[in-house]
Structure 1
């Protein structure tokens, strides 16, 4: 509760008891409870007025439409990605792996050409 531990709460209650006395504490608690209830009612009234105004101006419906359209576009994008994924994967694989054997053999030849004289000197 508000980051206050048990010991701190007891200390605060002790200070309140010392300041106001035991006969005033129930009155203070009632007043605090009424104040909290009035604050809660005021915020609920404000929320209901805002919602009523949104409903009258059609904002709630437009927000629902916008949210629905955004979700539909996201679903379309997902379907396009999932639907085209195998074709694109094959294309990427062909691009990467297609040249690979020629590149490996060329690299092998280059290494052999560079290490050939070195191998002969070591013997």
Structure 2
């Protein structure tokens, strides 16, 4: 079974892990992982805070921020139009 993650296969991941262990040592890896986890958590919290502030501000001023529904509707209209146009072509093939 050949699995790939971000265009990196299993053996390549193992080589990278081996290099990380050789460079930092087995003792430092948990500390590095903990630091990365805390950093990612801070970024996620900051992102959520920004989203919350934007939503609160838009609701305060009466601005509609739910653009995704409009985009989905437009995409579905385009898909329907394409299906209408390509329907006869698909039947001929």
Quote the residue 1:20 is aligned against. Answer: 24
Unpaired segments ≥5 residues, structure 1: 75-123
Secondary structure of 2:27's aligned partner = coil
Moved over 3 A (4+): none
Q: TM-score when scaled to structure 2?
A: 0.61
Output aligned runs, 1:1-123, within 5 Å: 1-60=5-64
Give the CA deviation at 1:10: 1.1
Structure (1/2) with the larger helix percentage: 1
Cα drift, residue 12 of structure 1: 1.2
Pick the structure with more strand per residue.
2
For the pair shown, the structure with the greater C-alpha radius of gyration is 1
TM-score scaled by length of structure 1: 0.47
Q: How far, CA to CA, are the matches of 2:20 and 2:29 in structure 1?
A: 8
Listed as ranges, the gaps of 5+ residues in structure 2 are: 78-93
Could you say which structure has the greater relative contact order, defined with CA pairs below 8 angstroms and 6 or more residues apart?
Answer: 2
